[in-house]
Every structure is written in C-alpha cells, then in structure tokens.
A = this chain, B = another copy of it.
Amino acid sequence: MAEFDLIRRIQQRSGDGALLLGIGDDAALIEPPPGQVLAVTSDTLNIGVHFPHDARPADIGWKALAVNLSDLAAMGATPAFCTVALSLPQADRAWLDGFLDGFLELAIRHGVVLAGGDTTRGPLSITVTAHGWVPAGQALRRDGARIGDDVWVTGTLGDATAALAQLEAGGVADAALRARLDRPTPRIEAGLALRALAHACIDLSDGLLQDIGHVCRASGTAAEIALDALPASTAFLDRSTAETRHGEQATGGDDYELCFTAAPASEDAIHALAASLPLRITRVGSIVEGEGVLALLADGTPWQPPRSGYAHFG
C-alpha cells in the first residue's frame, strides 16, 4: 500500500464533517465559530515508551486521540478537529484499519473530525494535534488557583500505573486496570461543566503530585494533598498494598483524569455535577500559601514519594 493509498483509506473512513475543506489538499480549512477562541494541543505516542509492544492497534488509535482530548478537557474546550501524523515501519492496511477503529470510535463520540496529517515510514510513532473551541475568556487554565481553594480530582487514580506494574512484573494485567491504561476516558463533559466552577484545571498525565505542582507554580501557591482521600477503583484496591498504593496513586502517570481547584462554596455544585454526569469527583486537598506540594498521610505527617513522577527523559 503506497502512501497515497494510506491517506485515501483514512479519508474514506473519516469523512469531512464540518470542515470547509478536509483531507486531500495542502491544508485543511476550518471556519472559526463566532466568539470562540481556538485551543490547540499536540501529544506523541511512541512504541515501547507510551504503549507496550503488544498493544492492539485499536487501543493505540484510541489512546493517541484520548491523551490529546484530555488536554482539551482540561481547558474546558469543545473538541472539534485534529491532524494525525503516523510513522509506520511498513504500510499495513490491517494495522491501519485497527488503528482507525479505535481512533474513530473515540473521535465520533466527541464529534472530532480528522482534518489531515501525514503518513511516513519510520519506527511506530503517532502525533495527534487536537483542536477545540472555547468561548472567549472562559478557558480553564493552570494559573487561576486561589489560596483556600479545594483541590478535586475526577474518576479514580493509579489504575493505569497498577496495570503497568503488573505488565512490568511479567504478568498479565487485571482487565479493568489494563482497560484504564489502554483506553483512558477524556473527561470532556466534566471540563465543559467546570468552566463555571473551577478556578484552575490540569489533566493528570504525569502523576497527581507533579501535575498539581504545575498548577501551584503557575498560580503562585502551594497545595496540600491528603493521600487517604485519593479515589481508588475496586480493581485497584483488590491488588494494591499499603506499600505501593500511595506511590501509584500520587506519582503514577497516565490517569488522564482532571484535577481542578474551586472555592469551598462550590462544593454542593460540584457534588451535583458529579451526580449529573455521572462521574466520581473527589476532594483531595487544598490550595495554601507558599510553594510546593505537601502530600500528607492519614495521621497528618508528610509522606516522602519514592519517585517524583513520570519523566520521559529520566
């Protein structure tokens, strides 16, 4: 299959949606909706680094889009369109069809149109650049946290890291945990609703302590996190030990949940939002004066993380 056949295959399966001009010209053309600003984010997945060598093409397709939509969710943006740059060792229609199965399943769910991209020969690597729209002045940012805010997280933490730990130990990951590693759920609806409630927001890709640290640095604040409050799934609790739990939940990456800060007065509205989505939303700490992030054990003593988050260049 030549390069142009790959592109045609993608074009056939994606459709042009609401674009003025889609795949097949030198660039795609998009008309901005009135009163909206554009949110743009770009993330790469490389084989052996961001997904296991045995990952299914459909899961890779899903995750390549999901990690980008998670960034749009953290801005409170409505996803609209994206480009995909695919490097493949060889042109392989079965692989491409699997990839598009997962990619388009998530894209269709959120009305994301594939606007263009590139297919090249090289080690397996996928870069998605995702675009969304957000009403002017309403975007969620990292720099809006205020002293006295509560810190909240959506969903549960540590599932993907626990799955990875099982895989790295040479075993088979628990199916529920593996699903959280392979098919993270971008919290788009939560992000949209949080535009009215949150002061600051970030998506959790590198571990809670590291990511809330970004919010604190951008906002000129510190944070205290109560480790015992971190929400955990049943599958996670079934296999976690006292020894590994805090590390996996507080410093493990790949959660793709939202972490946001909000005024204490918003607590009832946040619980109502959680019930309406429905999605677990849990208060896990506070924004305080100072610098840095303090993780506290149940007895109120500080916890020392065994490692400081998930750095791609260690």
User: Within 8 Å of chain B (Cβ to Cβ): is A46?
Assistant: yes
A30-B37, A42-B116, A120-B312 as given contacts; A142 in contact with B25, CB under 8 Å? yes
CB of A26 within 8 A of CB of B41, answer yes
CB of B43 within 8 A of CB of A118, answer yes
CB of B122 within 8 A of CB of A123, answer yes
CB of B44 within 8 A of CB of A131, answer no
Q: How far is the CA of A88 from the CA of B265 in the complex (A)?
A: 46
User: Within 8 Å of chain B (Cβ to Cβ): is A247?
Assistant: no
User: Within 8 Å of chain B (Cβ to Cβ): is A306?
Assistant: no
User: Within 8 Å of chain B (Cβ to Cβ): is A134?
Assistant: yes
**Which A residues between 236 and 284 are near B, CB-CB below 8 angstroms?**
none
* 7 further contact pairs, Cβ within 8 A, besides A40-B83, A50-B120: A4-B311, A25-B142, A26-B41, A26-B201, A27-B74, A46-B123, A122-B123
CB of B27 within 8 A of CB of A39, answer yes
A–B complex contacts, Cβ < 8 Å, 15 sampled: A6-B313, A25-B142, A28-B39, A31-B37, A32-B38, A40-B115, A40-B116, A42-B116, A42-B127, A42-B129, A46-B120, A48-B122, A83-B129, A121-B313, A122-B125
Chain A contacts to B: CB under 8 angstroms: 1-4, 6, 20-21, 24-32, 36-50, 71-72, 74-75, 77, 81, 83-85, 87, 90-91, 115-123, 125, 127, 129-132, 134, 136, 139, 141-143, 201-203, 218, 311-314
Q: Which residues of B contact A47 (CB under 8 A)?
A: 122
A3-B313, A71-B27, A313-B3 as given contacts; A139 in contact with B39, CB under 8 Å? no
Q: Which residues of B contact A41 (CB under 8 A)?
A: 26-28, 83, 116
Q: Which of B75, B84, B129 contacts A29 (CB 8 A)?
A: B75
Q: How far is the CA of A84 from the CA of B41 in the complex (A)?
A: 10
In the assembled complex, how far is the CB of residue A301 from the closest CB belonging to chain B, in whole angstroms? 28
In the assembled complex, how far is the CB of residue A192 from the closest CB belonging to chain B, in whole angstroms? 14
Q: How far is the CA of A122 from the CA of B47 in the complex (A)?
A: 8
A72-B27, A75-B25 as given contacts; A44 in contact with B312, CB under 8 Å? no
Q: Which of B25, B81, B121, B142 contacts A312 (CB 8 A)?
A: B121
